[in-house]
Amino acid sequence: QKEVEQNSGPLSVPEGAIASLNCTYSDRVSQSFFWYRQYSGKSPELIMSIYSNGDKEDGRFTAQLNKASQYVSLLIRDSQPSDSATYLCAVLAGTALIFGKGTTLSVSS
Protein backbone atom coordinates (compact mmCIF):
# COMPACT_ATOMS: atom_id res chain seq x y z
CA GLN A 1 0.00 0.00 0.00
CA LYS A 2 1.33 3.38 -0.97
CA GLU A 3 2.11 5.57 2.04
CA VAL A 4 3.12 9.15 2.70
CA GLU A 5 4.61 9.89 6.09
CA GLN A 6 4.91 13.21 7.87
CA ASN A 7 5.79 14.25 11.39
CA SER A 8 2.50 15.47 12.86
CA GLY A 9 4.17 18.19 14.92
CA PRO A 10 3.36 20.68 16.13
CA LEU A 11 6.38 22.44 14.74
CA SER A 12 6.87 25.74 16.52
CA VAL A 13 9.11 28.48 15.13
CA PRO A 14 9.48 32.18 15.94
CA GLU A 15 8.51 34.82 13.42
CA GLY A 16 11.24 35.38 10.87
CA ALA A 17 12.79 31.93 11.26
CA ILE A 18 12.98 29.14 8.69
CA ALA A 19 10.44 26.36 9.05
CA SER A 20 11.40 22.96 7.65
CA LEU A 21 8.73 20.39 6.90
CA ASN A 22 9.58 16.87 5.83
CA CYS A 23 7.83 14.03 4.03
CA THR A 24 8.76 10.51 2.95
CA TYR A 25 6.87 8.28 0.55
CA SER A 26 6.87 4.59 -0.23
CA ASP A 27 6.05 4.46 -3.95
CA ARG A 28 9.30 4.52 -5.92
CA VAL A 29 7.58 5.23 -9.24
CA SER A 30 5.95 8.45 -8.07
CA GLN A 31 6.97 11.43 -10.19
CA SER A 32 4.85 14.31 -8.92
CA PHE A 33 4.77 15.79 -5.47
CA PHE A 34 2.73 18.54 -3.93
CA TRP A 35 2.49 20.60 -0.77
CA TYR A 36 -0.92 21.77 0.38
CA ARG A 37 -1.64 24.23 3.14
CA GLN A 38 -4.78 23.82 5.22
CA TYR A 39 -5.93 26.48 7.65
CA SER A 40 -8.09 25.32 10.51
CA GLY A 41 -11.61 24.70 9.31
CA LYS A 42 -10.74 25.27 5.66
CA SER A 43 -10.02 23.09 2.66
CA PRO A 44 -6.51 22.24 1.44
CA GLU A 45 -4.96 24.65 -1.05
CA LEU A 46 -1.98 23.95 -3.29
CA ILE A 47 1.12 25.99 -2.52
CA MET A 48 3.95 24.11 -4.23
CA SER A 49 4.52 21.35 -6.75
CA ILE A 50 7.79 19.64 -7.66
CA TYR A 51 8.61 16.97 -10.22
CA SER A 52 12.40 16.91 -10.57
CA ASN A 53 15.18 16.24 -8.12
CA GLY A 54 16.58 19.36 -6.53
CA ASP A 55 15.08 22.59 -5.31
CA LYS A 56 12.18 24.66 -6.55
CA GLU A 57 11.67 28.13 -5.17
CA ASP A 58 8.53 30.25 -5.13
CA GLY A 59 8.71 33.37 -3.03
CA ARG A 60 9.37 32.40 0.57
CA PHE A 61 8.72 28.73 -0.18
CA THR A 62 11.27 26.18 -1.38
CA ALA A 63 10.39 22.58 -2.15
CA GLN A 64 13.19 20.02 -2.20
CA LEU A 65 12.95 16.57 -3.80
CA ASN A 66 15.26 13.58 -3.54
CA LYS A 67 13.74 10.65 -5.42
CA ALA A 68 16.56 8.28 -4.53
CA SER A 69 15.83 8.80 -0.84
CA GLN A 70 12.07 9.07 -1.46
CA TYR A 71 12.07 12.32 0.41
CA VAL A 72 10.44 15.68 -0.19
CA SER A 73 10.61 18.76 2.00
CA LEU A 74 9.23 22.27 2.23
CA LEU A 75 11.17 25.21 3.59
CA ILE A 76 9.41 28.40 4.57
CA ARG A 77 11.76 31.35 4.95
CA ASP A 78 10.96 34.41 7.03
CA SER A 79 8.04 32.58 8.65
CA GLN A 80 5.01 34.71 9.44
CA PRO A 81 2.17 34.12 11.90
CA SER A 82 -0.08 33.80 8.84
CA ASP A 83 1.88 30.68 7.88
CA SER A 84 0.45 28.91 10.93
CA ALA A 85 -1.48 26.02 9.42
CA THR A 86 -1.29 22.32 8.70
CA TYR A 87 0.89 21.40 5.73
CA LEU A 88 -0.04 18.29 3.78
CA CYS A 89 2.40 16.45 1.59
CA ALA A 90 0.81 14.68 -1.38
CA VAL A 91 2.19 12.20 -3.88
CA LEU A 92 0.63 11.43 -7.23
CA ALA A 93 -0.05 7.71 -7.61
CA GLY A 94 -1.53 7.10 -11.04
CA THR A 95 -4.27 9.70 -11.28
CA ALA A 96 -4.96 9.98 -7.55
CA LEU A 97 -3.19 11.91 -4.82
CA ILE A 98 -2.08 10.12 -1.67
CA PHE A 99 -1.84 12.51 1.25
CA GLY A 100 0.18 12.44 4.42
CA LYS A 101 -1.59 13.28 7.67
CA GLY A 102 0.05 16.68 7.75
CA THR A 103 2.39 18.67 9.94
CA THR A 104 0.99 21.48 12.04
CA LEU A 105 3.12 24.60 11.98
CA SER A 106 2.82 27.33 14.58
CA VAL A 107 4.65 30.62 14.03
CA SER A 108 4.83 32.83 17.09
CA SER A 109 5.16 36.61 16.86
Partner 1 sequence: DAGVIQSPRHEVTEMGQEVTLRCKPISGHDYLFWYRQTMMRGLELLIYFNNNVPIDDSGMPEDRFSAKMPNASFSTLKIQPSEPRDSAVYFCASSLFPFTGGVGGETQYFGPGTRLLVL
Chain contacts with partner 1 (rule: CB under 8 A): 31-32, 34, 42-46, 48-49, 51, 88, 92, 95-102
Q: How far is the CB of 95 from partner 1 (least distance, A)?
A: 5
Task: Give CA–CA dist 86/47, Å, rounded.
Answer: 12
Query: What is the DSSP-derived secondary structure letter of residue 28?
Result: T
Residue 13 or 97: the one with the smaller Cβ distance to partner 1 is: 97
Angle among Cα 1, 10, 100 to the nearest 5 degrees reads: 15
Q: How far is the CB of 85 from partner 1 (least distance, A)?
A: 14
